[in-house]
Structure 1
């Protein structure tokens, strides 16, 4: 298959002309790592796409700057039959190449650096790192033994032999590194900090927050850095074959329930999950909150639920003030409106660009101006 022209076009799209990553992207046959993938089929179901069965579609998908879902729940596309229609949330993917390059660039890699790459996935991001550093300096890690085995085989088919390890990134990592870049969103950073050498650099997103944290390790075992003026959304770390049951049951329980408090909201209904800065601030205010949003014509409805039993539902036509129902121990929509009021009053939210101090126990402490918050 003639893939190099497509890879060169992708490289020109996602890297500057002088970037050290341009040759890596242009020289990586991404289609080798994603022979099959899932695409949305409507109503929460997924349809299988088979690359060898349609070479032109395979090339278009593999060499576009998009993420390709390779695993839904516990079902991997490699082993699926054409008529399968699994439902559920993605649990692995081939991450969009431009985002992979951005994360690796945030790592400030240098010749001879030992890199720990969390989230092997398809292995394509590992291939880019090997192009830059050499196989002997790259360790890729994933919780799923199938993914590490498949990635190892696909890398080997290209003559690459980095260390690929099956491990749980929420616990200790296998080795120590000058740089750790995570392609999954982490909740607590104690384990990755312990595996980082003195002066080493960590690059990661945080679960449910869509922020990129870069931090350099200090002598006391902690790290200091910033929340970059950049953003990314990665799947959260998991410890098993799939994520624990999502909040579907919680949403169903409060979908049409009358609230203990019923008020008129101040701001229009918002799809919180897509408003990344607002969502990040809400996660700091109510860690673990889950969001759901629907549009039916001009009718907009948003739900917030929390494992502690707190919930909120706001519904309105277009941008009219919504009717807000809330229940449980906390008022989640009230917390959301405080965040939106700050956004309107100050023209921005303080999370992006904030300073970060990560203590050795893995907790992130954010500060910007008079604002501060903790996470993890």
Structure 2
């Protein structure tokens, strides 16, 4: 008879190895956070999950459970430095008969530990501080904060009731009882304010001013800025006495799902007709939108845009950039030249080229050379200093403070 694996011993060993890898990679510095990673059993928060496969074609995820993969393999994957998917398209997974999933949209996950600990280190917490977390998710990062600060110092908000319930169960199994709220994380928690630190484990197109108002002066708001085309980066803001917050991007392109309340509309909009708009040549092709540096600038320059590529009726590859009623269409010309045809209220490609010129004139700086200023009425990303070149973040009217 084969002996049952000792789950606790195997998991403890894997935690120590994960901690060592994160420390060796320069992700984990603080002894307190190191102790938290060594102590918190990540496998309790990912008892069942999906991992991306290398199957060709549509992106495909395969289920991983102790029953399907074996307990030891499940544990090995649970302690890998990978993002583990726990929900697709906002719907619960049928775990009675889990099957590979293709072409779906992940909507909840346990983020790769390297990014989790990077954010926690950048939060600069001290004993006795209280923290508001936006996006409980599986509850793993919540548990790490409970271990570091004490559960009474942690408030976590999750918009999805099913996800929140699973996180609560996992936290209870691990002996943590933070304050958990099911609600709109973008609205924060005025009842528990002010907080010393606010951390968001989702991407946002702009900083909800409620987070600034609910963080005490001198406190920190840490979140990922992103748009509908790509992520911009992890930003750490210090809150001032006038409900103003300012700070710099501290890491480029972290991968967090966008907050559901700020996700893009399903419809991309109307595709322009073949004769619409005004054409000209441009040195910038579609790869401008996807390369690390220029893609960052493109997201700043066109915050409401999305793009896709499809052939025209004659087979010519066309890249469409759409933003409400404005558009730009890119087609090959010759050599390094492209045709761009644009129209609508905003000449999107002109705006992009102006921003790229500004960026290149500054020697194409990395995202960490950019900063963010947030006020009750306005939010801007700036290059170099608050007085330098800047780009406005998209803020709906309901998220501005008309009394300010």
Fold equivalence (TM over 0.5): yes
Give the counterpart of 1:10 among 18, 21, 38: 18
**2:47 matches 1:31:** no
Are residues 303 and 48 of structure 1, via their aligned partners in 2, closer, same or farther at CA, if it must alter by over 3 Å? same
Contact 2:143-2:176 at 8 Å conserved across structures: yes
| C-alpha contact 1:356 1:364 (8 A) present in aligned 2 | yes
Supply the distance in 1 between the matched residues of 2:213 and 2:58 (Cα, whole angstroms).
39
| Bigger mean CA deviation after superposition, 329-338 or 42-51 | 42-51
Q: Secondary structure at the match of 2:199?
A: strand
Give the counterpart of 2:137 among 121, 130, 135.
121
Return the match for 2:201 from 180, 183, 189: 183
**1:131 Cα deviation from its structure 2 partner:** 1.7
1:44 positional shift: 4.5
Hey, what does 2:243 align to over in structure 1? 221
Aligned in 2, Cα 1:245/1:231: closer, same or farther, shift over 3 Å? Answer: closer
Question: What is the DSSP-based 3-state SS (H/G/I as helix, E as strand, rest coil) of the residue aligned with 1:191?
Answer: helix
Pair member with larger Rg: 2
Confirm or deny that 1:323 pairs with 2:335.
no
Give the equivalent residue in structure 2 for 1:237.
Answer: 259
Which SS does the other structure have where 2:307 is aligned? strand
Q: Is 2:221 aligned against 1:202? A: yes
SS at structure 1 position matched to 2:284: coil
Which is worse superposed, 313-322 or 354-363? 313-322
Paired with 1:89 and 1:328, the residues of 2 have a C-alpha distance of 31
Cα distance change on mapping 1:266 and 1:257 into 2, 3 Å: same
Unaligned runs of 5+ in 2: 1-6, 396-404
Aligned to 1:374: 392
Shift of 1:270: 0.8
Which of 290, 305, 310 is equivalent to 1:289?
305
Aligned to 1:68: 84
For the pair 1:265 / 2:282, whether they are aligned, the reply is: yes
2:180 equivalent to 1:158: no
Query: What's the counterpart of residue 309 of structure 1?
Result: 325
Distance in 2 separating the partners of 1:38 and 1:14: 23
Contact 1:269 1:319 in 2 (8 A): no
Q: Deviations over 1:155-206 (max 9, x none)?
A: 1111111111112122242522111111112223211112112221111112
In structure 2, C-alpha distance between the alignment counterparts of 1:128 and 1:268, rounded to whole Å: 44
> How does 1:28-67 map onto structure 2 within 5 Å?
28-40=40-52, 44=58, 46-52=60-66, 53-54=68-69, 55-67=71-83
- Displacement after TM superposition at 1:283 (Å): 3.3
Relative distance call for 1:291 and 1:42 in structure 2 (3 A) is farther
Aligned length: 366
For residues 332 and 195 of structure 1, do their structure 2 counterparts lie closer, same or farther at Cα, with a shift above 3 Å needed?
A: same
User: 1:271: how far off?
Assistant: 5.9
| CA 1:191–1:42: 2 relative to 1, 3 Å | farther
RMSD: 3.1
Change in Cα spacing, 1:257 to 1:81, as seen in structure 2 (3 Å) is farther
3-state DSSP of counterpart to 1:188: coil
Alpha-carbon deviation of 1:235?
Answer: 1.5
| SS of corresponding position for 1:192 | helix
For the structure 1 residues 124 and 229, does the alpha-carbon distance in structure 2 shift closer, same or farther, using more than 3 Å as the test?
closer
Counterpart Cα distance in 2 of 1:294 and 1:62: 38
Q: Structure 1 residues 257, 99: CA separation in 2 closer, same or farther (over 3 Å shift)?
A: farther
2:237/2:248 contact within 8 Å kept: yes
TM-score, length-scaled by structure 1: 0.85
Alignment CA distance shift 1:27-1:294 (3 Å): farther
